[in-house]
Amino acid sequence: MSEQATFKVGSEQIAVHMIGPFVNMAISGWLQPGESIKYDEVMLQDGHVWVGYDSYNGRRYLPIRTWNRVAPPNHGVGSLWGVIK
């Protein structure tokens, strides 16, 4: 789903994934606490809520909280791993 905002990483680093929003996809790097990205897409996939964004070297996917795998509107999500602005 299309959504534009900024996500700022909380107290723990988060792995950034290439290719798609799946935890078994290759990791392109890590966002450290306090770092921010501007995203333009939100996805429910693979037990997580993901945001998609364009980095200097291609499309990237960042999990920002857990998801219980139940379709909206009855879905449940865990605590956010940072702040959305």
Structure confidence by residue, pLDDT tens digits, 7-38: 999 999 999 999 999 999 999 999 999 999 99
Domain ranges of the chain: 2-74
Domain spanning 2-74, CATH class: mainly beta
| Mean pLDDT, residues 44-60 | 97
Q: What is the pLDDT of residue 40?
A: 98
Q: Which amino acid, 37? A: I
Q: What is the pLDDT of residue 13?
A: 99
Q: Report pLDDT digits (tens) over 53-80.
A: 999 999 999 999 999 999 999 999 999 9
Q: What is the pLDDT of residue 66?
A: 98
Q: What is the pLDDT of residue 63?
A: 99
DSSP line for the chain: -EEEEEEEE-SS-EEEESSSS-TTSPEEEEEPTT-EEEEEEEEEETTEEEEEEEETTEEEEEEEEEB-SPPTTS--B---SEEE-
Q: What is the pLDDT of residue 42?
A: 97
Q: What is the pLDDT of residue 8?
A: 99
